[in-house]
Amino acid sequence: MLAKSQAKLFFLIGTGAFSAIFLGLTVDTLAQVPVRSNESAMTAEVVHGKELWEQNNCMGCHTLLGEGAYYAPELTKVVDRRGKEWMKAFLADPNGMFPGQRRMVQYKFSPQEIDALIAFFDWIGKVDTNDFPPKPDLVVAAAPAAKSSGRMATAPAVYRSLCVACHSFEGQGGKVGPALDDLRGKFDEASLDRWLANPQAVKPGTAMPNLNLTPEARKELASWLLAGKGP
């Protein structure tokens, strides 16, 4: 058993040592804040996006960095999950992409406001959060297939900007929807065009959104997807 003087000395030394450790960790944390917070990339557009986020009470449904409501998806890494072009189409007309399914309010954002919101989400997605939230399944960084035909190099712009957020081709793309490497026996150009024009009309309740593609974009996409179709 320690004597009273020894116990006092033990307390003082322990308190002093752990106080020094705490102060050292605090100083180290504060020194890392500018880099880990992505402060250097905070532009006026990013700030405007944050203002729109607050003005429209987006946190009433969504979370950022784990804070907010859990009614709607977590948006810290939404740019990684979906991509900027997909987000532009969705924010412009949420119900148009998912008719009768989404409860996302139509805020009637202007193109400039949509760009600002996406800039804000892109910025916050690059904040160092020690890998929070976990890497999403919808990333566009899947490993390429061992045998590549090189067709990805000729993919239409609409595929590279929108479809790739959910689908993969030759191992590259999202994981939420089926891979599109081989559509033989499933579609011809006419049936694929009907599907792309209005997925809900072909298969009610499908998770496939209506991307509101122009006839020209649908034709180009269908021709590319079916280019390698066998007999």
Look at the alpha carbons of 124, 165, 221, 88 in this order and tell me if their dihedral is positive or negative: negative
> Are 43-125 and 151-225 equal in CATH topology?
yes
The answer to whether the CB of 118 falls within 8 A of the CB of 88 is yes
How far, CA to CA in Å, does 206 sit from each of 137, 150, 184? 19, 30, 21
Give the pTM: 0.70
The answer on pLDDT for 173 being more than 50 is yes
Residue 146 pLDDT greater than 60, yes or no? no
CA-angle at 188, arms to 182 and 191, nearest 5°: 115
Share of the chain above pLDDT 70, in %: 90
pLDDT at 192 over 90: yes
**Least confident segment among 93-102, 191-200, 203-212:** 93-102
When comparing pLDDT for 230 and 201, which is higher?
A: 201
Mean pLDDT computed over 137-144: 47
Look up the CATH superfamily of 43-125: Cytochrome c-like domain (1.10.760.10)
How is residue 204 written in tokens? Answer: 């009610």
pLDDT over threshold 50, residue 145: no
Q: What is the DSSP string of 137-186?
A: TT-S-PPPPSS--SGGGG--HHHHHTGGGT-EETTEE-SSS---S--TTT
Backbone angles phi, psi at 213, to 5 degrees: -75, 150
Handedness of CA 62, 68, 74, 76 (dihedral sign): positive
**What pLDDT, on a 0 to 100 scale, did the predictor assign at position 95?**
83
The residues spanned by each domain of the chain are 13-40, 43-125, 151-225
Q: Is the separation of the CB atoms in 165 and 136 below 8 Å?
A: no
CATH C-level class of 151-225: mainly alpha
